[in-house]
């Protein structure tokens, strides 16, 4: 495999099918890869204009260590994130921690399975659900003001 590009079919710009389907375009060559083989990855294009730009870009260079178990493809924002992930995955696995540090995997908050947490509630903090995916930017879009602390 030499390159992967991802396209998101929102607003049916690509195919007349479900608008949330993500399509992977794969470029391959039939040959034994070199020891330092890397794969270029680009995406996710959400319109024809974004695809035009993406198709001519070099993409990000993923070493084989950057892929997860079963060749899971991590969609990262820049080459720095790709390089860091590759280093983390070549280190010692930390599935449940070790020494004094331990972690217990917990599934995400689930609207059906965890409904008892908010049944009958009419106030509280906003809950970001699947339908609001990609609306929240944890990095912030612009400067925000915070009220002064009360003493």
> Is 147 within a domain?
no
What does the pLDDT average to over 14-24? 80
CA distance 106 to 113: 13
Q: Is the pLDDT of residue 60 over 90?
A: yes
The DSSP string of 124-142 is: SS----GGGTTS--TT-SS
**Which tokens hold the place of 132?**
């609001």
Q: pLDDT (tens digit, 9 = 90+) per residue, 42-53?
A: 988 889 999 999
User: Which pLDDT band holds residue 57 (cuts at 50, 70, 90)?
Assistant: very high
Task: Provide the token pair at 125.
Answer: 């903090």
Q: Which of 95, 91, 94, 63 minimizes the C-alpha distance to 76?
A: 63
Give the per-residue pLDDT at 43.
80
The number of domains in the chain is: 1
- 24 falls within a domain: yes
Residue 130 lies in a domain: no
Work out the percent of the chain whose per-residue pLDDT is above 70. Answer: 77
Spatial CB neighbours of 58, under 8 Å, sequence gap ≥ 6: 40
Beta bridge partners of 38: 63
Q: Do 40 and 2 meet the contact criterion of CB atoms below 8 Å apart?
A: yes
pLDDT, tens digit (0-9, with 9 covering 90-100), for 61-99: 998 888 877 788 888 888 999 999 888 888 766 667 666
Q: Residue 58 has what pLDDT?
A: 92
In this structure, is residue 139 part of a structural domain?
no
Q: Is residue 83 part of a domain?
A: yes
What is the domain extent for residue 7? 1-91
Q: What is the pTM of this model?
A: 0.55
């Amino acid at each position: 495999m030499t390159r992967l590009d991802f396209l998101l079919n929102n607003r049916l710009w690509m195919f007349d099918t479900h608008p949330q389907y993500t399509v992977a375009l794969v470029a391959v060559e039939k040959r034994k890869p070199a020891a330092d083989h890397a794969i270029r990855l680009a995406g996710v294009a959400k319109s024809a204009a974004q695809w035009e730009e993406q198709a001519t870009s070099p993409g990000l260079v993923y070493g084989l260590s950057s892929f997860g178990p079963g060749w899971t493809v991590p969609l990262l924002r820049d080459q720095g994130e790709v390089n860091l992930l590759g280093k983390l995955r070549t280190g010692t696995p930390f599935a449940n921690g070790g020494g004094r540090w331990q972690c217990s995997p917990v599934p995400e908050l689930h609207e059906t399975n965890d409904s008892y947490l908010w049944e009958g509630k009419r106030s509280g903090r906003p809950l970001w659900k699947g339908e609001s995916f990609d609306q929240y930017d944890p990095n912030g879009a612009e400067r925000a003001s915070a009220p002064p602390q009360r003493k």
